[in-house]
Amino acid sequence: MSTHTTRHVKYHADAASLFAHLGGTTNQDTVLLESADITTRSGIQSVAVLRAAVRVTCSGIHVHVEPLTSFGRTVADQLREQLGEYHVGENVYAFPPVAAAVVADERERLTATSTVEVLRALSKFGFLAGGFAYDYLETFEALPAVADGANTYPDYQFVLAEVLLRIDHQAQTATLSGVGIDALAERIDAASPPPLRSSAGPGGTLVARADIPDAQFCADVERLKEHIYNGDIYQVVPARSFVADCPDAFAAYLQLRATNPSPYMFYQRGVDKHGDSFELFGASPESNLKYTNADREVQLYPIAGTRPRGLAEDGTVDHELDTRMELQLRTDAKEVAEHTMLVDLARNDVARVAEPGTRRVAELLQVDRYSRVMHLVSRVSARLAGDLDALDAYRACMNMGTLTGAPKLRATSLIRSLEGARRGSYGGAVGYLDSNGDFDTCIVIRSAYVTGGKAIVQAGAGVVRDSNPQSEADETLHKAYAVLNAIALAAGAELEVIK
């Protein structure tokens, strides 16, 4: 097998410009993961898959492993030796679901052989970056069947890095690792890419259209509230999409990261199950599941409860108004009750995979501020049970209650029946799994799925017994606005939303 090497390279503060300079926005199967401090707006780290060895795509019970390089072919051959009993075709594996009747208990069902086996095996070869669709849950739970939606993100798609760039912005250091990295390292050391700027664009107006008009969304909220009154659920999170032209997804990502720096920012180039190229970008405030193998700590980070920022007419922060908005958020009984319900849900999720006695609420009802909105946030953590790993924990906890409601499975079924289509990437997870077993993902929100020059921006609202339907419809736009505005800024246009 080819030799992996690691070397220090020149530090670049503008990781996105370097990523583009090195072909990250034109080559297929590249990924850029970044994080920023939401208070200081300064960068923390950037990780880029500059060349992928393997693309692995899950669709239902089938997993397709596509080698992209010579090293990737070697990996694929070794994978076939490890998982040969599940190999059903040219680099295709099948993992039939385990019937509930043949497993003794929930733990046995959780650890039964499944499509994550391919990710588990590939992670031993290096760094995996990519994401899970919201609909991946269907491979683990019985849900109403629905058609594909406009967002055609696969059940999961990850790439195994052949060349990986890590930038630590706080230490101002960078390392390049992988196979055959010398020429690329020299390019990085010699590079002085100018900051990327959006093209002038056509100007004018960028129109974003809601797929579900306000009136219909309000009616949907009322229908869901009937299920709450009937005791079927306590909370549910319906969503809708805003669709707009997006000729340059990476330019829109640059605008989003500049205007809405977040703990989790991402840009992924991939291929859906139909063979069509897509780009997925976002700036998410919310961790999905994080696991650190050194101390075996697993963390969930529920965010629920939203208010607009207190902004003056010129877009700057009016601190007095902003403080009033925070006070409204902290004292709103509906928002606090909704948030507390989701913290309880996170505690229950963690309990399924935790060592007994290690679960705790590490942070409760804090307020995080972003460019357009502020949120109530909490953090739930535990030590992962010794017989489980990060992928087991992800399957046990997916999807986050902030994107489904409670109880999760019943709420998810109602959402599927109402929306009638797969959500794709929205509400799923993007992040990485490395060879140490560390796993860090965010919920795919404040994001856009771009294919064929069109961006699909999805956003939801948490519906409880006392919800006002129009307020929930408005909340979806509040949440989508930062992404839609970034797309408009990248096009040099004014944003108009038709809802």
How far apart CA 431 and CA 264 sit, in angstroms, is 9
Q: Does the annotation count 375 as an active-site position?
A: yes
Active site residue 26: no
* Catalytically annotated residue among 109, 120, 240, 446: 446
Q: Which two tokens stand for residue 285?
A: 């405030």
Question: 446 catalytic, yes or no?
Answer: yes
Task: Give dist(CA 284, CA 301) in Å, integer.
Answer: 12
Residue 437 known to be catalytic: no
**Strands 287-292 and 454-460, how do they pair?**
unpaired
Nearest Cα to 179, choosing from 4, 325, 21, 9?
Answer: 4
Select which of 296, 359, 369, 375 is catalytic: 375
Other residues' Cβ atoms within 10 Å of the Cβ of residue 21: 18
DSSP 8-state secondary structure symbol assigned to residue 317: B
Q: What is the DSSP letter of 66?
A: E
Spatial neighbors of 276 by CB under 8 A, at least 6 apart, are 152, 451, 452
Distance CA 90, CA 81 (A): 13
Residue 55 has which token pair?
Answer: 């693309």
Yes or no: say if 382 and 359 are a contact pair by the CB < 8 Å rule: yes
Please pick, among 126, 131, 460, 462, the residue that the annotation labels catalytic: 462
Cα–Cα distance for residue pair 196/254, rounded to 1 Å: 8
* Selected catalytic residue, list 93, 134, 253, 426: 426
Run of H or E residues at 333: helix 333-351
167 forms beta bridges with 46, 174
462 included as an active-site residue: yes
Token duo for residue 405: 């409601």
**Cα 65 from Cα 158, distance rounded (Å):** 10
The residue annotated as part of the active site, out of 402, 412, 441, 451, is 402
| Residues annotated catalytic, as ranges | 375, 402, 426, 446, 462
